[in-house]
Amino acid sequence: MSRKNILILILAMLFFAIWLSLAQKYYYCVILAQCGPPPPPVDSSQLAHIPNDLSVSAEGFPLWENYPEFEFDYGSTAPLYLPKQLALLEEMALLLKSQPQAKLKIIGRYKKEETLPEQAKRYGNLGRARALSIADKLMAEYQLPSQQIYILGDTMPLNKKAFYIDLEIIGYLPSGPEQEKKEAERFRQAYLQDIKRLTYDGRMAFFRSPDQRFKLAPPVFGEYLDSLQNYLAQNPQAQLIVIGHTDSKLNGQAAQEEALSFALQTKAYLENKGISCPIQTQSRSNQELLQMDTLADGSRALYKAAQNRRVEILIEEVP
């Protein structure tokens, strides 16, 4: 390559670097409005009016509740993030990355009288621009893949209460297929090795608020029942202890009674399946949580609460 061509190549690379720098500055300063002096300190009294009404659900099942709504200044495309909102975004990103088949739907809303800023007109409407600001933060700071997010924009409805940002997870599975398979095999190996010492605390039943329906986890549970019946036939002196647990939503006597109801439902089910040995029931209330499902400020991670509502089945030898 001649000296002239090398010089032209160097100049082209230099101009490209300058153009790239200007393009990045335009994107962050004009489109995202992230340039300029730092914002003034936030007066906490101005945030006191923000209600803790934001909930996030998945396929109709609530996962988080009692979080502060995302608030936007008039015509603004970016919210002022509160610590609880950042914690929520981080938890959502972790959950979504563990379930790559799931997607987060973000709906941004705006009032009809709000004016769309010039730099946001490329997004079509102010609501879509607001949703994109949340999506950008999830992708940039919490490394959530872009293919797991889709955004929409709409006006505020007049006939019902609505928020600037609505969040919903689509395609969520309470536990992913691979995790289900691993847990099933681990459970199978455990009861084959020693059914007497097995603590069965998560796969027999789970309860959904508010109706708390009894559900099974086939086919592993059927295998467990067969092994249990064989063991009891060979050890007629054995008995079962069924222990119920609940989450932290209730306290005192109410929590005690709810956990006991889980144990009683389990006992009735076992008896209906032909288990004829004595079955004791106990309640541990919410004293043995697997996950902390309620924070000091009252917000709740409901998918963690579902893990706390469970039963244990223990075998006890009677002398």
pLDDT digits (tens, 9 = 90+) for 21-40: 776 666 555 555 555 544 44
Whether the per-residue pLDDT at 282 is higher than 70: the answer is yes
Q: Give the model confidence (pLDDT) of 156-184 as tens digits.
A: 877 656 678 999 998 876 654 565 566 66
Are the C-beta atoms of residues 224 and 273 closer than 8 Å to each other? no
Task: Identify the helix (H) or strand (E) that includes residue 317.
Answer: strand 310-317
Count how many Cα atoms sit within 13 Å of the Cα of residue 216 in the half-sphere of its side chain. Answer: 12
Reported confidence tier of residue 279, pLDDT bands at 50, 70, 90 = very high
Give burial (CB, 10 Å; 0-12/13-18/19+) of 270: buried
Looking at residue 260, its pLDDT comes to 92
Mean pLDDT of 90-98: 87
DSSP for 110-160, please give it. Answer: E-TTPPPPGGGGGGSSHHHHHHHHHHHHHHHHH---GGGEEEEEEEPPSSS
- CATH code at 47-170: 3.30.1330.60
Residues of the chain with CATH 3.30.1330.60: 47-170, 177-317
- The SS3 assignment for 108 reads strand
Go through the chain and tell me how many residues it has: 319
Residues 79, 86: Cα–Cα separation, whole Å:
11
How far is it, in rounded angstroms, from Cα 204 to Cα 229?
A: 16
pLDDT at 61 over 50: yes
At which residue do the structure tokens 């101009």 appear? 15
pLDDT score recorded for residue 269: 83
Does pLDDT of 154 surpass 80?
yes
pLDDT given at position 187: 63
**What percentage of the chain carries pLDDT values higher than 70?**
71
**Both tokens assigned to 33:** 């409005």
Please tell me the number of Cα atoms within 13 Å of 80 on its side-chain side.
14
What average pLDDT does the segment 202-223 reach? 47
Residue 201 DSSP code? -
Tally of CB atoms within 10 A around 1: 7
State the average pLDDT over residues 88-93: 89
Compute the half-sphere exposure of residue 258: CA atoms within 13 Å on the CB side of its CA: 24
Structure tokens at 28: 């962050």
- Look at residue 255 in the predicted model and tell me its pLDDT: 92
pLDDT tens-place string over residues 110-152: 888 887 777 667 778 888 889 999 999 999 988 999 999 989 8
What does residue 169 show for φ and ψ, rounded to 5 degrees? -105, 125
Q: Which residue has the higher pLDDT, 95 or 196?
A: 95
Superfamily for domain range 177-317: OmpA-like domain (3.30.1330.60)
pLDDT at 63 over 60: yes
Which residue is associated with the tokens 């697997």?
A: 290
Other residues' Cβ atoms within 10 Å of the Cβ of residue 243? 22
The confidence score (pLDDT) of residue 280 equals: 93
Q: Distance of alpha carbon 318 from its chain centroid, rounded?
A: 43
